[in-house]
Chain A
């Protein structure tokens, strides 16, 4: 074959392979490229190590299969005698070491860059708890919870599953494009892990300690991840969604958050001044209960054994109000019962406690007012 047509042939083969590797078919099987420089470099590392492994596998298994074929007894009745060779041992020790060095170099340079968390444009404190995330923007002084938004009915197969089943939240983390965002991870209870595959960021959230990671995203969009460390019952149900917006939109979003917080406090003032009736509070309370409490205490209030006590006829639910308030607002140390005071408004807390005291056959007839909650904070 002439040099030109040989090169054409090689070029054709390479183009086919390149095209194939970029098809949807290949994408379904490959580690994603992601949307950051680091995620792209990591994908490259993945391809390098995968390539090395495939080549090694093909060679070793090729030799084995050849031997299985050519040296089977029917074809090769007399076995050879040799059983050692220092030279050969040396060769197949040194060559693998060289291959490993070849892989270690790009891995090392990538790692050094990944671990460089300095000079970030914004810092976000990510606090994990069972089973949700809290995001706190340090410079902007804004914070909120991010919960799974998939309805329970979908999980229990009563409704068809949505497109982003288990990968959707009520309040995503919002980031600006082209800015270095530094994340500080910690936890309120057990070890969780914050992972967004498109950013190739994964760091454990450890109670009592902070870990750091960073990313810089150029492409606006929605990116989804999941908790990556077994953290109890609902480990599968605490996803992460990051919305990356162009810088100007991000700045506006920050201002909107501040405004919303002011409005919420205005609303909260109004709630406190109003005298609420049982009929008004019960439906709100039921909705709050189903969204936040039912996963452990069950929609019918019967709980699950001693781990998640029953509220129907429960000691606290029909006992003194102060104890009930304290338990809901401040949680119980060293258990999965968390403090709800930071997470719910006065109205929501008043409603859900009223609901718990008057549902499922509990007849305390107590009506808790939002201002009572406010005073107890």
Chain B
């Protein structure tokens, strides 16, 4: 018999019961909700930091913040977006959806699941509190190169290191949980090559996490001992090498950026077939392409280091390997388009975000291909061209992917349809704003504007003004998103079981809202889909 969390604590007060429920829950749906709300909260915090950055960059000169604080904003914005927004959001979606999609009652290790989540609020409290420490928050960029971080980092650097360790442990434990769940708890009949693609992409992402988060832990520990325990991993004086830091960091860093996008690929692969009313084109190809991307991601880390004094052979190797990743990525894009082709398309908000994802992520991927060409990279590296590239793959990529997923699955989670009109307004505002903000950055980078600078030469002012205005609109559009989510939780048109006419998969066979415990016995697979839908 399942013990309910509420029964563990006698009802002294509703408040205590509420806290106990959320503190102690081992339920994948509740933990998914916790991850998503943490991510959403940190999204606004890191977004506010972006606003500070764009405000200062609106005009040349120092108007609002001093250079030291500006560098802290740049650093914290990156750290929180990567580790506090995108990763927890994807883990939250994994928690909610994977057990339902494979017909499992919960994750394989529910208590570990709870622990993995609860590390994070502590880690981020620690990281954010560094803003108030003597010397300020970390100010060396989210990539914390040595010796800027080792020798010249402020005292808060050590707290940043502990925070990174905590986040890393959370990610690794979560990834182990996900892999064990997928390998062991699929309903009978669901072979690996019959799993939904979101589950596949998360399986591969979890593998990447287990492989590279420990390497980041190693890098960060080396920084700690270089700072305080007389080691010289990254100091030439002691026989070490600052470039060695870059090798260790980017060995983690490159697979990390695929960790930040692969679940998004999986989401697009769920949503597009639903709204095209057509099966995903090339399922096998999509699985192999995702696996190829993951494997290749281990051998391209040097493309972040082309100006560090790399010998010719190294440059050529990393250039060719990086260009090669374009092939499986292109295959995925072509397969999505082929899924749409001669389907029967409708454009509800999830589909709008998924299509926005495909188009704008592709633009980001193409600028990545340009960056792979080493001689050209000598002009692009450490300029706003790179900032444009990664914001295109991260914002319209990971973030739009997450938003698409939220719109897609909110009716299942809450039992209510979201407001479609508001959803469309959110989409169009976000798309316009995202392009206004990040497209001009290609040009300021090409014109010669370096990145991570607080102040710039007036020749870049037009591009920066447009970016800053766009960023304001982008921030506002996300407030609208918050409103839409809260509104949907509180009420709306009742959602049917299947919700979307073209939806396929086990999660669309349970009632909306999904009961706290689903699939306590394994369901038949393939499922029989209901025809009664909301559309």
Closest-by-CB residue of A relative to B338 is: A88
Among B145, B241, B345, B376, the one with the most A-chain Cβ atoms within 10 Å of its Cβ is: B376
**Which residues of A have CB within 8 Å of B376?**
31, 42, 45-46, 49, 107
User: What sequence of 0s and 1s flags, for each residue 53-91 of chain A, a beta carbon within 8 Å of any chain B beta carbon?
Assistant: 100110011011001100111001111111111001100
CB contacts under 8 Å to A, within B36-67, are: 60-63, 66-67
| CB <8 Å contact, B366 and A80 | no
**Bound form: Cα–Cα A306–B152 in Å:** 13
| CB <8 Å contact, A191 and B147 | yes
Known: A84-B284, A104-B323, A111-B312. A76 touches B446 (CB 8 A): no
Interface stretch, picked from A149-157, A323-331, A348-356, is A149-157
Closest-by-CB residue of B relative to A78 is: B344
Closest-by-CB residue of B relative to A95 is: B330
Closest-by-CB residue of A relative to B324 is: A100
Is A108 interfacial (CB-CB < 8 Å)? Answer: yes
User: What sequence of 0s and 1s flags, for each residue 27-63 of chain A, a beta carbon within 8 Å of any chain B beta carbon?
Assistant: 0111110000010011001100110110011001101
| CB <8 Å contact, A46 and B370 | yes
| CB <8 Å contact, A307 and B337 | no
Closest-by-CB residue of A relative to B383 is: A228
Closest-by-CB residue of B relative to A196 is: B448
| CB <8 Å contact, B370 and A49 | yes
**Which residues of B have CB within 8 Å of A32?**
446-448
Chain A residue total in the interface (Cβ 8 A): 97
**Bound form: Cα–Cα A30–B376 in Å:** 13
**Bound form: Cα–Cα A50–B347 in Å:** 31
Chain B residue total in the interface (Cβ 8 A): 95
**Which residues of A have CB within 8 Å of B511?**
none
User: How many Å from the CB of B391 to the closest CB on chain A?
Assistant: 17
Is B223 interfacial (CB-CB < 8 Å)? Answer: no
Is A334 interfacial (CB-CB < 8 Å)? Answer: yes
Partner of B346, one of A30, A73, A157, A204: A73
Is B258 interfacial (CB-CB < 8 Å)? Answer: no
Is B5 interfacial (CB-CB < 8 Å)? Answer: no
**Bound form: Cα–Cα A244–B85 in Å:** 49
| CB <8 Å contact, B319 and A93 | no
| CB <8 Å contact, A67 and B337 | yes
User: How many Å from the CB of A194 to the closest CB on chain B?
Assistant: 9
Known: A49-B369, A190-B148, A197-B379. A157 touches B61 (CB 8 A): yes
| CB <8 Å contact, A84 and B458 | no
| CB <8 Å contact, B68 and A110 | no
**Which residues of A have CB within 8 Å of B326?**
96, 100
Partner of A92, one of B334, B339, B341, B358: B334
Interface stretch, picked from B89-97, B173-181, B186-194, B275-283, is B275-283
**Bound form: Cα–Cα A261–B347 in Å:** 74
CB contacts under 8 Å to A, within B479-524, are: none
Partner of A165, one of B60, B236, B333, B448: B60
Is B242 interfacial (CB-CB < 8 Å)? Answer: yes
| CB <8 Å contact, B342 and A232 | no
Interface stretch, picked from A137-145, A206-214, A277-285, is A206-214
User: How many Å from the CB of A67 to the closest CB on chain B?
Assistant: 5
Known: A42-B378, A207-B242, A233-B71. A64 touches B358 (CB 8 A): yes
Is A203 interfacial (CB-CB < 8 Å)? Answer: yes
Closest-by-CB residue of A relative to B368 is: A53
Is B416 interfacial (CB-CB < 8 Å)? Answer: no
**Bound form: Cα–Cα A202–B370 in Å:** 17
CB contacts under 8 Å to A, within B270-295, are: 276-285
Is B212 interfacial (CB-CB < 8 Å)? Answer: no
| CB <8 Å contact, B344 and A79 | yes
User: How many Å from the CB of A129 to the closest CB on chain B?
Assistant: 12
Task: Given A29-B443, A42-B379, output 10 extra A-B contacts at Cβ < 8 Å.
Answer: A45-B375, A52-B369, A60-B333, A72-B344, A82-B281, A85-B281, A201-B378, A202-B379, A209-B309, A235-B67
Which of A's residues lie within 8 Å of B, judged by CB? 28-32, 38, 41-42, 45-46, 49-50, 52-53, 56-57, 60-61, 63-64, 67-68, 71-73, 76-85, 88-89, 92-93, 96-97, 100, 103-104, 107-108, 110-112, 114-115, 154-157, 161, 164-167, 189-191, 193, 195, 197, 200-204, 206-209, 211-212, 225-237, 304-307, 334-336
Q: Could you list 29 examples of A-B contacts with CB < 8 Å?
A: A29-B446, A32-B446, A42-B379, A67-B340, A71-B342, A73-B345, A78-B344, A80-B341, A80-B343, A82-B281, A82-B342, A85-B281, A89-B331, A96-B327, A100-B326, A111-B316, A115-B315, A166-B455, A166-B456, A191-B147, A200-B375, A204-B307, A206-B243, A209-B309, A212-B309, A230-B141, A233-B67, A233-B71, A235-B450
